[in-house]
Amino acid sequence: MTGYGAFLDAKTHVGADHGFDPIWQPQSLFPFQRALVEWSCRKGRAAIFADCGLGKTPIQLTWAENVARYTGGRVLVLAPLAVAFQTINEGRKFGIDTVHRREGIEATDRIVVTNYERLQHFKPEDFAGVVCDESSILKNFDGETRKQITDFMRKRPYRLLCTATAAPNDYIELGTSSEALGDLGSIDMLQRFFKSVSGTYARCGGRSGYGAARCSKDHGSTGHFYLRPHAERDFWRWVCSWARAMRKPSDLGFEDDGFRLPPLSVRQHVVKASAPRDGYLFDLPAVGLAEQRSDLRRTIAERCDMAADLINAHDRPAVAWCNLNEEGNRLAKSIRGAVEVSGQDTEEHKESTFLGFVRGDIRVLVTKPTIGGFGLNLQHCAHQTYFPSHSYEQYYQSVRRCWRFGQKSPVVVDMITTEGQADVLSNLQRKADAAASMFENLVAMMRDELRIRRVPTNTLPEEIPAWL
C-alpha cells in the first residue's frame, strides 16, 4: 500500500471491541480483581482507573497472560523507570512468566516488561497486546515520545491502560486515554461533549460539579472548554463504556475488608526567607510563575534545612521529594543515610537505588516526583517531606507511594512551603476538589450503568394496558 492509502492506514486504529472470555485466573486474586480481569478481557481494549494499592499489577499481568494464551502471541508491558523489577516480582508471586528486556525480545518470550524509554528497541508486530502501566505518566514525556507510544499501540488488537489518576484535574485528559484505546479521539470528544469558551478559564459549578478543561487547539492557540450540562450524563456513560474506576472495592459492590487506609497526617510548615524580594520591606504572596520561582530559589536553604531536621529527628525510612536539582543536592548532603536519584543519573543507578530503598538498604530516598512518583510500592516507609508545586497529580502520586493499601502505619507528610506560596496551595486545593468530583461522577455513573445492565429478577408477567 502506497500514497494516500498508506497514510490513512497509518492513522487508523484497529476496530472497537475485540474481547474474549478469560481463559485463566490465579486463585489468589481478590474477587474485585477477578471481576476487573473478566471485564477487561471481554472488552479487549480497556482502561482501569484503580487507586494505589488495589493490585493493578496482578490485574494487568493476568490480563496479559490471558491475551498471550488466547492469541498465542506476546504481550508488552510498558512501565515507568525502575518499576519493572516490581512487575517481575509480582509475576513470580502469581505464577505468571514475565521477563524484563531492555533491547528487544528473545524467541521464547511471552510477556515482556520494559520501560517507556526503551520502546524504540521493540517492534509492534511482535506483540498481540500492550499494557501501559501508570498510563497517566505519558503526559510527562515529550511530544515525540508520546507519539511513538501511540503509534506503537495503534494496530495492536488488545490494549490495557492502568493508572490511579486518569485525569486528576482536567477531564480533557480522558480523551487521551480514549484515543489510545482506539475510541473517540480528543478532538472528537471535545466536539461531542464540550463547549468552547474563549478568553477565560471556564469552571462550571452545580450539583455534580461539571468538568472544566483546558486544551490546545490547532497550531497551538489555547482554547477553554467546559462540559455541556445537557451532555453530562452521556459523557460519563461514554467513559464507562471503556473504563472502570474505583478507589475502594465497594465501588464495584465488593467488601472493603483488608482495604482500609491507615490515618494520613499532612502537616504544613511555613518557612521565612532570610530577606524579602528586592524592593519589598516584607514578603507578600508571589503573583505569577516568575515570582513563585524566584521565591522558591530564595528559600532553598531554609526549606531544605527544615526537611533535613524533620527527617534527621528519627531513624526510620523516609522520602524527601524535591523539584530543583539544587534542592536534591542539598537534601542528600544534609540528611543522614540519604541517596539521591536525579534526572542525570544512569538508568542502572536509578533502578539500583530504588531497589535498595525498597529492600531497606537505603534509609532515605531523595528524588523528584517526576522521577520516582509513579508506580513504586513504598509501604515500608511512612514519612515524607514535600515541596508543593502546581501539579496535583505529582502530589497525589507522591503521597500514595507510601499511603496506599498495604501500609500498616499512620503516614505523615510534612508539606514545607513559604509565605509567598499561598497561591500555589490554593491552586493545589482547587485541583484536589476537581479530582474528587471527577472520580465521584465516574464511580456514580459506573454504578448506574451496572444496574442498567443487570438482568431483571421479577418473574410476574407484565400487563399491557388495553389502550396501548
Residues with Cβ within 8 Å of residue 433, at least 6 apart in sequence:
none
Q: Is residue 91 part of a domain?
A: yes
| pLDDT value of residue 215 | 42
| Mean pLDDT computed over 225-243 | 85
Does position 238 have pLDDT exceeding 70, yes or no?
Answer: yes
Residue 177 and residue 272 share a domain: no
Q: Is residue 432 part of a domain?
A: no
- Taking the C-alpha atoms of residue 461 and residue 248, their distance in angstroms, rounded to an integer, is 38
Q: What is the dihedral of CA 325, 330, 332, 333, to 10 degrees?
A: 140
Element holding 443 (H helix, E strand): helix 422-452
In this structure, what CATH number is given to the domain that contains residue 341? 3.40.50.300
Residue 131 and residue 38 share a domain: yes
| Mean pLDDT computed over 140-166 | 81
Does position 63 have pLDDT exceeding 90, yes or no?
Answer: yes
Q: Is residue 223 part of a domain?
A: no
Min mean pLDDT across 48-57, 345-354, 386-395, 452-461 is at 452-461
- Tens digit of each residue's pLDDT (9 = 90 or more) over 166-187: 665 567 678 888 888 888 888 8
Give 85-88's long-range contacts (Cβ < 8 A, gap of 24+). Answer: 85/351, 85/355, 86/57, 86/358, 86/375, 86/376, 86/377, 87/57, 87/61, 87/113, 87/133, 88/113
Residue 52 and residue 136 share a domain: yes
| Mean pLDDT computed over 106-125 | 92
Residue 315 and residue 170 share a domain: no
Q: Quickly state the pLDDT bin for 143 (edges 50, 70, 90).
A: low
Does position 453 have pLDDT exceeding 50, yes or no?
Answer: no
Tell me which residue of 312, 277, 305 sits closest to 293, measured CA to CA.
Answer: 277
Tell me which residue of 226, 164, 215 sits closest to 187, measured CA to CA.
Answer: 215
Which segments of 116-266 does DSSP mark as H helices, in order? 143-153, 173-180, 186-193, 232-240
Among 399, 422, 445, identify where a domain stops. Answer: 422
| Mean pLDDT computed over 319-328 | 95
Residues with Cβ within 8 Å of residue 289, at least 6 apart in sequence:
none
Does position 431 have pLDDT exceeding 90, yes or no?
Answer: no
Q: Between 453 and 431, where is the model more confident?
A: 431
DSSP E strand boundaries for 351-461 = 364-367, 383-386, 411-418
Q: What is the dihedral of CA 56, 59, 64, 66, to 10 degrees?
A: -170
- Taking the C-alpha atoms of residue 116 and residue 128, their distance in angstroms, rounded to an integer, is 18
Q: Quickly state the pLDDT bin for 136 (edges 50, 70, 90).
A: confident
| pLDDT value of residue 161 | 94
Residue 348 and residue 246 share a domain: no
| Mean pLDDT computed over 173-202 | 77
Amino acid at 349: H
Domain span including residue 360:
264-422
Residue 404 and residue 342 share a domain: yes
| Helix, strand or coil, per DSSP, at residue 367 | strand
Q: Between 281 and 118, where is the model more confident?
A: 118
Min mean pLDDT across 180-184, 346-350, 367-371, 422-426 is at 422-426
Does position 259 have pLDDT exceeding 90, yes or no?
Answer: no
Residue 340 and residue 253 share a domain: no
| Mean pLDDT computed over 104-122 | 92
Does position 56 have pLDDT exceeding 90, yes or no?
Answer: yes
Tell me which residue of 238, 255, 71 sits closest to 246, measured CA to CA.
Answer: 255
Does position 165 have pLDDT exceeding 60, yes or no?
Answer: yes
| pLDDT value of residue 125 | 94
| Mean pLDDT computed over 264-271 | 92
Q: Is residue 321 part of a domain?
A: yes
Amino acid at 390: H
| pLDDT value of residue 177 | 85
Residue 80 and residue 42 share a domain: yes
Q: Is residue 57 part of a domain?
A: yes
Q: Quickly state the pLDDT bin for 121 (edges 50, 70, 90).
A: very high
| pLDDT value of residue 220 | 29
Q: Between 195 and 199, where is the model more confident?
A: 195
Q: Quickly state the pLDDT bin for 335 (edges 50, 70, 90).
A: very high
Q: Given the C-alpha cell 455534580, which residue does it identify?
A: 208
Among 232, 257, 282, identify where a domain stops. Answer: 257
| Helix, strand or coil, per DSSP, at residue 413 | strand
| pLDDT value of residue 227 | 81
- Taking the C-alpha atoms of residue 436 and residue 209, their distance in angstroms, rounded to an integer, is 10
| Mean pLDDT computed over 337-365 | 92
Per-residue 3-state assignment (H helix, E strand, C coil) for 124-140 = HHHCCEEEEECHHHHHH
Query: Looking at the 3D structure of the chain, how many domains does it have?
Result: 2
Min mean pLDDT across 104-108, 251-255, 370-374, 463-467 is at 463-467
Does position 382 have pLDDT exceeding 50, yes or no?
Answer: yes
Q: Given the C-alpha cell 502471541, which residue does it identify?
A: 73
| pLDDT value of residue 391 | 86
Q: Quickly state the pLDDT bin for 15 (edges 50, 70, 90).
A: very low
Residue 327 and residue 247 share a domain: no
Phi, psi at 6, each rounded to 5°:
-65, -35
| pLDDT value of residue 1 | 57
Half-sphere exposure of 280 (CA within 13 A, CB side): 14
Residue 143 and residue 81 share a domain: yes
Q: Is residue 96 part of a domain?
A: yes
Q: Between 429 and 294, where is the model more confident?
A: 429
| pLDDT value of residue 451 | 64
Among 422, 446, 463, identify where a domain stops. Answer: 422
Which segments of 268-391 does DSSP mark as H helices, in order? 288-298, 300-312, 325-334, 347-359, 369-372
Residue 397 and residue 303 share a domain: yes
What nine digits make up the cell of 39?
471485564
DSSP string covering 242-272: TEEEESSGGGGT---TT--PPPEEEEEEEE-
CA angle (430 as vertex; 426, 436 as ends), nearest 5: 140
Residue 158 and residue 284 share a domain: no
- Taking the C-alpha atoms of residue 447 and residue 453, their distance in angstroms, rounded to an integer, is 10
Tell me the longest C-alpha to C-alpha distance in the chain: 86
Does position 209 have pLDDT exceeding 50, yes or no?
Answer: no
DSSP E strand boundaries for 22-107 = 45-50, 75-79, 98-100
Q: Is residue 113 part of a domain?
A: yes
